[in-house]
Structure 1
């Protein structure tokens, strides 16, 4: 049927756009959606995922709730100041009530069952904290052969958004992020803030989306708190669709230009906790004696082409 995806998410406004992007793409087989704490509580992220799928007419996609906290150390705070108290600008109630309940057994069990049943490689798309993915890979190494790629939204090469050094998803559980991004050798793509900020869309783009029908209008209606926050971050009226950029790469490999680079995740308790340290020195002078393998880091794209791709898929 097309690219097989499992999305692991913490909706979140940009997560809602990302889920819809996959759910509405005819060339995507969205096998399942798993949820994790992050922008808001696990209860809220799970409810939001179910409602977004219902909005998209995709109640057939199974949803399972995963980790409610990081692997080791508590998450100091969540992102309600960006996404609203319910994760969707206080407007989650504007979405339709879901027809189905979360799957019993939880996120890791659902991912294992979907991967075991898959006859083709599956792309995992974690767009929240990496706790569920770290747990999956640690507890069920036998499913690694079914994973084609892991496309992660997270990290920052030049700076963070939650602290000066750290991006929110990595900062929320640095130990899990290090397990996935440094210690694994599966094919991985990291889609960092440096690029996703550049892919931000303006209010004219959002207005165009809202005018396309009930799904577009439903998604645009979730953005007021997010827009107010990004007005301060960007300095103009627009929003960053961070997670949708990662899903675009998962759907259409190569839509983002990447470079294979070694990286580390800072797990200390200093001001750099949660930073992604990407070695961008020339290969001839890099220290090759490190654990793990290089990660494909997304560094560029056709910005207008990417925006057009997302809009076209959301308005199909």
Structure 2
């Protein structure tokens, strides 16, 4: 079996969570023990996870409904349609935070939490049961250390941090085995050309579902500022969260630095010598190889 992991996701807004979940399901290096949803309508998000797991033939993975915060646009609602848990054969747990604790405490080996959203569930877990850090590690898609979105030369306030800054501050300040894939590496990843076409033309049911969500998401957000420069027929969106999934089983394709990272009240992730040391994926060694890996695994 692979490394035991829990995925905590805000799936249902930006489409990269769909790509990341599908990629994770195609990684035999990972033993997915639980998927929890966070942010916005977490019941809607859990239904989206359920439908994807059903398509992938992975209803053996429990789903936990996490803490809802701040309404967000349901950009995958059209694809989800009227799908409900009545149609789902797997286990759905109402207390997602409790489910995270239970999975960690029941495991015979350490569990890695792969977090690809705001950190409300994880902060709640730490409040409820601080001792879980002794049996787990954290790998997160949060922050911007030296570079910003799309490889910008200056760091920026990153969405998952500013969405619930207090939760991020709590997690990053907790003595724990913490690793991050900040915008420095994850903010430039996408599939284009042959890689994109490989997934787009695949007849694999999960790849088909990913592409349906890709196009449905674009239809939902095409009026947003800057989206007129984007052609969904030839490229994916930025696939931030896939990098975090990859870090769950390998670090071969990027360089990792251990840095003291603090979170300011304004939601910036800064290097502060008084802060906790956190392992950060800061530079790509072979971004092209990573993008090819994602495409090949998703294509089935």
Shorter chain as denominator, the TM-score bin is: 0.7 to 0.9
1:9 equivalent in structure 2: 9
Pick the aligned partner of 1:172 from 156, 163, 168.
Answer: 163
- SS, match of residue 251 in structure 1: coil
- SS, match of residue 201 in structure 1: coil
CA distance in 2, matches of 1:109, 1:254: 33
Q: TM-score, normalised by structure 1?
A: 0.81
Contact residue 153 and residue 192 of structure 1 kept, 8 A: yes
CA distance in 2, matches of 1:241, 1:187: 24
Contact residue 199 and residue 240 of structure 1 kept, 8 A: yes
- Structure 2, unpaired ranges of 5+: none
Contact residue 22 and residue 251 of structure 1 kept, 8 A: no
Matching of residues 11-90 of structure 1 within 5 Å: 11-12=11-12, 13-37=15-39, 40-69=40-69, 75=70, 78=72, 80=73, 86-88=74-76, 90=78
2:98 equivalent in structure 1: 109
CA distance in 1, matches of 2:226, 2:186: 16
Matching of residues 1-316 of structure 1 within 5 Å: 1-12=1-12, 13-37=15-39, 40-69=40-69, 75=70, 78=72, 80=73, 86-88=74-76, 90-93=78-81, 98-100=88-90, 102-104=92-94, 106-147=95-136, 149-157=137-145, 158-159=147-148, 165-181=156-172, 183-202=173-192, 204-212=194-202, 213-224=204-215, 226-227=217-218, 228=222, 232=226, 235-237=229-231, 238=235, 239-267=237-265, 273-277=266-270, 279=271, 288=273, 290-291=274-275, 293-301=276-284, 302-316=286-300
Instruction: Say what the alpha-carbon RMSD is for the aligned residues.
Output: 2.6
CA distance in 2, matches of 1:60, 1:230: 37
- Structure 1, unpaired ranges of 5+: 70-74, 81-85, 268-272, 280-286
CA distance in 1, matches of 2:144, 2:35: 25
CA distance in 2, matches of 1:111, 1:152: 15
- SS, match of residue 261 in structure 1: strand
The 4+ residue runs of structure 1 with deviation greater than 4 A are 94-97, 225-231, 233-236
Paired residue total: 282
Contact residue 33 and residue 64 of structure 1 kept, 8 A: yes
